[in-house]
A and B are shown apart, each in its own frame.
Chain A
């Protein structure tokens, strides 16, 4: 009887936790169908499909979304390559300084974003580097390298490296071994890490606010400013659409993996 009650309480707590996580999401989705009165889409007025029929009605918002996508793509590719190489070195080789490398990878994760943002901004200021699209990409690549390296490293533990020896013994050259054996095997881990790095970059606000140039507003920077000026319902539409896209991508990858396992 007591155990049953305990289980019931646990289930209730867990479901409550899920409800807490999803409450603001419900607000975002619902308000994408709102016809706001005034400049702020923060009070429910009446239902409309207008926003969804004209999701790209606002050129200023579109430009910031496009810029965010570009930054996220550039830093995903740069951090994906560099982070994967670091992970490969850490998992496959024993060398002096490995502990130091691990420490350097963890540090950006345990440093508050305002510290990284303000210090990078100072570096750019010191060296006379104009803040721009590229300074944002440099900053995002920096914190994504750590995330990619750590994620890929975790996935590569327990990987059977003798497969490479087997390929080499059968006469495959180093490049062929890498492209036919190593790369396909590490690919799922690398893709997961790349996806993580893309979503971290596209949503980053604090660091970006320090290193973005005057005219280089990303989507998060736009939303922050918009909270003071005006909040168009298109912001909700675009966010809901991005949410659906990423959930769809996630579901597709899960289904694909299940199908392959069968």
Chain B
């Protein structure tokens, strides 16, 4: 018998239909996303008998976790610091851009927002390598920064050392900002685009100045976009190791570099697993805290 659900939904043939549709995708995600996380948890509590023991045995060994802080505390803190700096920079660069396109883009809106995505049709690695060309010692960028007295300021801030931009923490933060910028711009644009532009006129009619319209009307309405954009920037940035590998020196190794090295080079699976899980735990808590601060309950 066909029965109607809520009037506009199609006849519901059996209650099992949605589960049938869900099954392949959900089974795939369970098998290749959730189950591996369980493997990771198990491995993080295993211990190796020797350096060359490649099949560590499970033993409730919490030492791997305390090792993370004692051995890689610096890299862990640095990763979150770099990711935070990149997220703030993305917001500072991305918000005005998204706002400009949404409010002043007119009929070119779609083309302009499409332009934001275009650079990302080339390889992520190659784009990062291009920055090594742009920031090369005695290149145009370095010389311009020196001429403007910027190098001295950055050196004083501890973001670079010597007369170089390449192989510095600043270069890594810049690379992260560059690579994740569209993930900030697009959600902000989507939330700004929904705003009825007549609201701005209404605010002006009520004698609100440009800045107070922005602060009291536009920004609150765009918060969901800021929230989503910050997460989509912060999370991949904190786990990235490509930017640090190409643009950073020894002073800018991130936790991703440590995991990659532990896992793929040293074959220290328990160590790598503990770092990965700890990172995920920290990120999850940070996300929940951030959601509370912004008052945004819904994630997706």
Contacts and interface: CB of A to CB of B under 8 A. Distances in A.
A28 B240 CA distance: 22
Nearest to A115: B276
B123 A10 contact: no
A149 B25 contact: yes
A150 B300 contact: yes
Contacts of B280: 111-112, 115
Interface string A220-260: 10011001000100011001101100110010001000000
Interface in B139-183: 178, 181-182
Interface stretch (B63-71, B124-132, B191-199, B217-225): B124-132
Interface residues of B, number: 93
A11 B105 CA distance: 11
Contacts of B21: 85-86, 88-89, 93
A86 B24 CA distance: 8
Contact of A101 (B26, B35, B121, B276): B26
Interface string B22-47: 10111011101111110110010000
Interface in A1-29: 2-3, 6-7, 10-11, 13-14, 16-18, 20-25, 27-28
Main secondary structure of the interface of A (DSSP, over half): helix
A110 B22 contact: no
B256 A21 contact: no
Contact of B97 (A14, A108, A125, A164): A14
A81 B40 CA distance: 29
Interface string B179-208: 001100100000000000000000000000
B106 interface: no
Nearest to B239: A112
A24 B134 CA distance: 8
Nearest to A204: B124
Contacts of B182: 21
Main secondary structure of the interface of B (DSSP, over half): helix
Nearest to A6: B210
B191 to A, nearest CB: 13
B28 to A, nearest CB: 6
Given A210-B263, A246-B121, 16 more contacts: A17-B96, A21-B182, A85-B22, A86-B22, A105-B300, A114-B259, A114-B260, A114-B279, A120-B32, A121-B263, A122-B39, A122-B40, A161-B9, A210-B264, A220-B123, A239-B126
18 contacts: A3-B210, A10-B96, A14-B97, A17-B185, A27-B133, A28-B126, A82-B25, A112-B238, A112-B256, A112-B283, A115-B239, A115-B276, A146-B29, A220-B123, A223-B123, A247-B118, A254-B110, A254-B114
Interface of A: 2-3, 6-7, 10-11, 13-14, 16-18, 20-25, 27-28, 31, 42-43, 81-83, 85-86, 88-90, 92-95, 101-102, 104-116, 118-123, 125-126, 138-139, 141-142, 145-146, 149-150, 160-162, 164-165, 168, 174, 199, 203, 205-206, 209-210, 219-220, 223-224, 227, 231, 235-236, 239-240, 242-243, 246-247, 250, 254
Interface of B: 5-6, 8-13, 15, 17-19, 21-22, 24-26, 28-30, 32-37, 39-40, 43, 93-94, 96-97, 99-101, 104, 110-111, 114-116, 118-134, 136, 178, 181-182, 185, 210, 231-232, 235-236, 238-242, 245-246, 256, 259-260, 263-264, 269, 272-273, 276-277, 279-280, 283-284, 287, 299-300
